[in-house]
Each structure stands twice: as structure tokens, then as C-alpha cells.
Amino acid sequence: MRLQHWFAWSLMIAALPISATAQQPDLVSMGGHFQLDGKPIQIISGEMHYARIPREDWRARMRMARAMGLNTISTYVFWNLHEPTPGHFDFSGQQDIAEYIRIAQQEGLHVILRPGPYVCAEWELGGYPGWLLKDSTMLLRSTQPAFTAAASRWLDRLGKELVPLLANHGGPIIAVQLENEYGSFDRDKAYLAWQRDALIHAGFTGVRTYTADGDAELAAGTLPEIPAVVNFGTGEADSAFARLARFEPGQALMSGEYWAGWFDQWGGRHAHTDGARQARELEWMLAHGYSVNLYMFHGGTTPGFMNGANIDGGKYHPQTSSYDYDAPLDESGRPTPKFYTFRDIIAKYSHATPPALPATDSTGAIPSFALAPVAPLWSTLGKPVRTVHPRAMETFDQSYGYILYRTTLPTSGAQLLAVHDVRDYAQVYVDGVLQATLDRRLNRDTATITTAKAGAQLDILVENGGRVNFAKPLRGERKGITKAVTVGGAELLNWQVFTLPMAATPAPKRAPVHGAEPAFYRGEFTIDKPVDTFLDLSGWGKGTIWVNGHQLGRFWDIGPQLSEFLPAVWLHKGTNTVVVFDLMMPEQPGIAGMAKPVWK
């Protein structure tokens, strides 16, 4: 999704449910409106992302989409989830996007596919794999051969999964987006032509291909033969559709993203948007016969370390794990007041009674349970890599998590430490004692440290807080310490580097934890019946949490998010295991499950 100036939601269809056996449907523009398989159709779509919803809940969310009156869902595809290391692809389990799309068809929904490879979406590096940045010459989102070779390989592999599900092969995919809001990034038509040809080579042919941009960027973001849709936010429908109509006279008009909500960033306020105004605007669009994609219909949760970030006014703003988005379905999949309002409007203009609202169990509480410290981070370090100068995380074949840089201080006393381009959050220890915190959000990359003797051990523990997902800064989003470290103006050399990706649930051997040091904590709780809940982490500092092997996301006491959604499908009757990694010592090493999310 685009992250400057409000822009849009996903495509929705107010028409009869599709048939799973329909053959050769063709979505075309006729007389200023869409036709599908020769029949008029107004697309009323909702954006939902398979990666942000537990696989076991995919079908339930689809049924809620139908119950609001949607006939289409739209989804991005996240390259970095499916190719975690070069040439190794994963379409299993939670990554089984083909099954997600098959379920949509079974539930009577069309699908709009947004394969990228760039997706934005408040997602780590806009969906690009971090390993691309190991190549110091890599130029993301360009016609550079090193980039296009990797991106083409990815699209070809994705085609094997999803081309059989195109509408012209009997599947539900009626449209495929070419790139994503490229007009907000550049105007290189050769790049767009490469993207078009790469999609064709991967087999994405025979269905409507389109581009999506903000109204001011339409000319920069498309090719002459490719139809466009327009993205915008609350209050911009009239002007955005007017500009799209001038740009493509006589064509069917559609909002590729109508932003009827917004995302949260760490240190900011929880988003609350104007639902009444959005309802009036949705009604205006449908009354004019325009098609629309609500972004988001259901946001869900950004898993693990996959949140993105923005650069705004030169400052770095990482996004939260919660992707609630103030959407019609909340983070747990329950309908909000906005859901019912939109449902009534859609029913009015589709002239159809939506399916009955599926029964949904209430979210529930879990009594507070204690967690005990298991081991400090220091006791879990593996074998280091030695390097004269500190280097970015990617050069060590690491994309996510934490990385520790260790050396010795040549002099004693109070000294000014400068970490040149720390990415993104760092804690500085001298002989194991925390002396400073550095934070890219605050442009804080220097601190005064003190040591009583020369030869003291200096540890700089750095967290990748999420790579930028919008605009050209993403091209330089290498993590860790990307340049040099100086003390008193002199560069520190001869480092030991420990990679800490935390790609699986940590299971460290027990060791004493002393005070406020980064450490792992473990606890258990017992339940009679699994229930969707929100784990209250307001007493903890900054870190991440796993439950029964599932990494829920990040927490940070600066808010606005102070809880983590824990779906019932990841719990079991009886004992459930929780592991927490916290960079700080918690105020109270306990957690309770709440029926509602906790916001600061």
C-alpha cells in the first residue's frame, strides 16, 4: 500500500458469486463499466493478506467478506516469505497462497492478485528479500540485471503456483496488478516494460493486467496499453476519480485502494479514522457505478519481524506488528461498527441480500501467569565472525532479528561513542553493563560511555526494526552497523560479530540472569478451551514473543501497541508454552490474556 497522502482500499465486487466451474471469464471495460464473462459487474473488493491471517482462519475471514457483501478479495504476494534464501522456495503451510486462493473460489469470491515483486504493504522492504542487499551494488526496483534476474526467477516460480488459478483456466483470479504504485517511486518506462514482460513470461496472461497509482502519479506509473486504477484516501474520491476519468476517458473506473483506515507506527498514536465520512464516500462511489477495493477489509497481524517502516521528514518510523488498520474486521477477525455500516451500503447498491453473518466466538481472557528468566543473551552466543570493520547484517547472510558487535576499548575514561548509521535500535554495553541506547527513530547515534580501564569489552547489540517499505530509501536499507564506530573520533577495529536471527523459538540452556540485561524468559499456562485473546505485554520492555512455536510479533513499551493477538487456533487444551526475549528487564515477569487489545 502507498504510504504518502492517503490512498485507497482494494477491489470489491457487487455481483453474483462466481461459479467454481466457470470457464474463460474475461474482465473488460465496456461503456465505462466492467463486464465479466459478458455480464455487467461492479467490483466491490476487500484487501486481506494470507500472511497476516492464521491459515486455519482463512476460510472464516472469507465468509465474513461475503457476509459484508464483497464478491472479491485482493491480496499481495510477499516474495521475502516465499524465498527466504536465494533459490529456496516455500509455498507450504502458512505460505500456501494457492490454497488461500482456492478457498476464496470455494467461498464464492473473485480474487485480484498483486504479485509485486514490490508490494509496499507496511511490510519489510516492501516484500523484497533482505538477502538481495548482500550485493553492495544491488539497485532494487530497477532494470539492473542483478535485480531483474532474481525478480524474474521469483515471478516464474510464483507462476507455477498461481497461473492454474487464473480465471481463464477456471480459477478465481480475474485481474493481476503490474508492480505497485510505481508512479510514486520513479517514471522509468523501461522498468515497467520489463515488469510487464516478466509477468507474461511467468504465465500471467489471459486476464486483465492493470497498474495502480495515486491520481497525481498515474502518468508516471503505467504503460500506454495497460489500464490503470487510482488509489486514494478519505476525502479524495471525487477528485481522484475525476482525474482518472480524464486520464482514461471512456474506461471503467475503479479505486485500487480506498484507504478506509490506517496503520500504526511505534511511538505514535493508535489510528482512529472517520468511519462516517468513509461510509458516505463508499456510497458515493457505488452510486456512481465505480468499482472499489477497500484497503483494508481485514488487516490482521504482521508476523514475526516482517513489519516495515517509513522515512518521513528524514526520520525513520517503524510500524507495529498489529495491522488492525481500523478496518471493518478488527485484528481478531470480529466485525466492527464500520462493518455493519458498509454492509448496509453495499446491499443497497448490489441489490442483493448478503449472506448471514457467520457465528463468531467472543474473544476471551486468560488468567495471569508468571514467566521466569531462563538465560541471558550472552550465554547463547555462537561462534563469532571476525572482521576488521563492522559490516551490515546482510553481509553475514542474515536478514532479520538482532546482531551483536564486540570489540575492546583502547583507552579509559569518559569518551564519545559514535555509531555511524546504526540500523535501527542499539544497546551499548561496557563490560556487560548497559551504558547507552541508540535509536534511529530519534536520530540518536552518539553517547558518552565511561570505562575505568583500557581493554574493556564493548558490546553493541543492534536490532533490525523493519526495513523501509516505501520510496527510494528502501534501496539502501541495510541493517546493523552499516559504516564505522568511533570513540573520541578514532575508529574502532577488529570486531567479533554474532548473528542472532531468532528464526525459530529459542531454547537456551539455563544460566543466571543478572538484572537489566537482554534475556529469555519462559512460562506456561493451562486452559480448558482455546480462545482468541490478546496477551498484555504492558509490563515488558522491547522484544518479541513466541507461543507454542509461533512468533506473534514485536512489543515495545513506547506503544501504541501494548498487546499481541494470540489466535485460538495456535493454542491447545492443556498446557501452552510461552517464550519471551526482552532487551530490558520486565517490570513484572507475568502476562495475562485480555478480551480486547491493549493500547497506550
**Mean pLDDT lowest among 14-23, 202-211, 485-494:** 14-23
Q: Give the start-end residues of each E strand in 396-484.
A: 402-408, 413-419, 422-423, 425-430, 433-439, 446-451, 457-463, 480-481
pLDDT tens column, 106-128: 999 999 999 999 999 999 999 99
Whether pLDDT at 17 is above 60: no
Whether pLDDT at 277 is above 60: yes
Nearest to 161 by CA among 171, 151, 150, 147: 171
Q: What is the pLDDT of residue 25?
A: 61
CB 596 within 8 A of CB 366: no
pLDDT band for position 573 (cuts 50, 70, 90): very high
Grid look-up 467454481 returns 20
Helix (H) or strand (E) holding 147: helix 145-162
pLDDT band for position 499 (cuts 50, 70, 90): very high
Q: Is the peptide bond before 560 cis (omega within 30 degrees of 0)?
A: yes
Task: Kindly tell me the burial class for residue 539, based on how many C-beta atoms sit within 10 Å of its own C-beta (0-12, 13-18, 19 or more).
Answer: middle
Whether pLDDT at 10 is above 70: no
Task: Output the nine-digit C-alpha cell for 63.
Answer: 465468509
Backbone torsions φ then ψ of 75, nearest 5 degrees? -145, 145
Whether pLDDT at 11 is above 60: no
Whether pLDDT at 402 is above 50: yes
Average pLDDT, whole number, for the chain?
Answer: 95
pLDDT tens column, 578-597: 999 999 999 889 999 999 99
Task: Return d(Cα 88, Cα 390) in angstroms, integer.
Answer: 28
Backbone torsions φ then ψ of 545, nearest 5 degrees? -140, 140
Considering the candidates 122, 161, 179, 181, report the single residue annotated as catalytic. Answer: 181
Considering the candidates 257, 331, 463, 477, report the single residue annotated as catalytic. Answer: 257
Nearest to 82 by CA among 153, 180, 22: 153
pLDDT tens column, 205-244: 999 999 999 999 999 999 999 999 999 999 999 999 999 9
Nearest to 151 by CA among 180, 166, 129: 129
Task: Output the nine-digit C-alpha cell for 131.
Answer: 538477502
CB 318 within 8 A of CB 265: yes
Task: Return d(Cα 367, Cα 353) in angstroms, integer.
Answer: 41
pLDDT band for position 516 (cuts 50, 70, 90): confident
CB 509 within 8 A of CB 522: no
**Exposed e or buried b per residue across 78-105, where buried means at least 16 C-beta atoms within 10 angstroms of its C-beta:** bbbbbbbeeeebebeebbbbbbbbbbbb
Task: Output the nine-digit C-alpha cell for 454.
Answer: 583500557
Task: Return d(Cα 582, Cα 377) in angstroms, integer.
Answer: 9
Query: 257 an active-site residue?
Result: yes
**Exposed e or buried b per residue across 517-528, where buried means at least 16 C-beta atoms within 10 angstroms of its C-beta:** bbbbbbbebebe
Q: What is the pLDDT of residue 1?
A: 47
Q: What is the pLDDT of residue 308?
A: 98
Task: Output the nine-digit C-alpha cell for 494.
Answer: 577488529
pLDDT tens column, 315-337: 999 999 999 999 999 999 999 99
- Tell me the residue type at 574: G
Task: Output the nine-digit C-alpha cell for 100.
Answer: 488461500
Whether pLDDT at 6 is above 50: no
Q: What is the CA radius of gyration of the chain?
A: 25
Task: Return d(Cα 425, Cα 463) in angstroms, integer.
Answer: 5
Task: Return d(Cα 399, Cα 372) in angstroms, integer.
Answer: 29
pLDDT tens column, 281-305: 999 999 999 999 999 999 999 999 9
Q: What is the pLDDT of residue 588?
A: 82
pLDDT band for position 12 (cuts 50, 70, 90): very low
pLDDT tens column, 156-207: 999 999 999 999 999 999 999 999 999 999 999 999 999 999 999 999 999 9
pLDDT band for position 22 (cuts 50, 70, 90): very low
Helix (H) or strand (E) holding 220: helix 218-221
pLDDT tens column, 245-273: 999 999 999 999 999 999 999 999 999 99
Query: 179 an active-site residue?
Result: no
Q: What is the pLDDT of residue 235?
A: 97
Question: Percent helix, strand, coil in the chain (nearest 5)?
Answer: 25, 30, 45
pLDDT band for position 21 (cuts 50, 70, 90): very low
